[in-house]
Structure 1
Amino acid sequence: MVAVGGVVVSKGQVLLVKRAHPPNKGLWAIPGGKVEFGETLEEAVKREIKEETGLEVKVSELMAVVQLIKEGFHYVILDFVCEVTGGELSPSSDAEDARFFSRNEIEKIATSPTTREMLLRYFKGERTPMFITEISK
């Protein structure tokens, strides 16, 4: 399964959504989801962010490639840096909440280790894409 995510940036902060459903229910995460058949990666990122947050974005560079492999479950997630271009922040039913966080706040909220590492790299100015594989049995 191929999925996408967006590191959405505005005024020096990044947008996170609090997941309302498994996996990662209750954790703050970057908005994103599955790529639909026939959709480009850029189209998928824009659609998922719009659906989950109400915001419109411009997609720029690749930030991370993450493989999540569990029994019966294999995701390849491509995360892109995005800039807000329009819309109004309004979380969907997939998200309990959506808001922008500063670098210092990122270290104090509940996120997955991968999300935290990616966001801290972003705030440090590191733009070489990360490649991460997580295998669970």
Structure 2
Amino acid sequence: MEQNAAKPPAPRVAVVLFLLKDESVLLGRRCSSVGDSTFALPGGHLEFGESFEECAARELKEETGLEINKTELLTVTNNVFLEEPKPCHYVTVFLRANLADPEQVPQNLEPEKCYGWDWYAWDNLPNPLFLPLEKMVKSGFNPFPDH
């Protein structure tokens, strides 16, 4: 193999959270080179030594200021983005949680990464959705435990 041949980027691990409130989920509109202007769940990159649950709670707090109780692992998906400016591959871990205090209001603490957060009814989600979430929705997945 040639020494100068470009290696494909290594897959990364993303942890995202279905934060549930009544029949709604929290979504933010991405401000990013990957999936710009699509609606996505809160979350981010898994850090070395971090559990999925720790990552979800940390990312949510960093992005929105919100705090959650315990999380529940839902599923994992494999997402390859070929259409983006720079191809990338993510293993996406989906968790579910509820607010520690239902009166909390999301803040946009990373305006360079997100245009803002809001609650959306699961049966009336905005478009376009970020690819990993869109794949979940199209598969018929429902994050609510009693559905």
Whether the TM-score (by the shorter chain) exceeds 0.5 is yes
Cα distance in structure 2, aligned partners of 1:125 and 1:36: 28
Q: TM-score, normalised by structure 2?
A: 0.73
Pairwise CA distance, 1:98: 0.4
Pairwise CA distance, 1:13: 0.7
Cα distance in structure 1, aligned partners of 2:60 and 2:53: 11
Pairwise CA distance, 1:3: 1.4
State which of 30, 45, 54 in structure 1 corresponds to 2:65. Answer: 54
Cα distance in structure 1, aligned partners of 2:146 and 2:131: 17
Give 2:142's aligned residue.
Answer: 122
Q: 1:38 to 1:110 in 2, by over 3 A?
A: same
Which structure is higher in strand share? 1
Give 2:7's aligned residue.
Answer: none
5+ unaligned residues in a row in structure 1: which ranges? Answer: 128-137
- Sequence identity percentage: 26
Give 1:110's aligned residue.
Answer: 128
Pairwise CA distance, 1:124: 6.9
Backbone CA RMSD of aligned residues: 2.4
5+ unaligned residues in a row in structure 2: which ranges? Answer: 1-11
Which structure is higher in helix share? 1
Pairwise CA distance, 1:70: 5.0
> Partner letter of residue 95 of structure 1?
C
In the TM superposition, structure 1's runs of 4+ consecutive aligned residues that sit over 4 Å from their partners are: 123-127
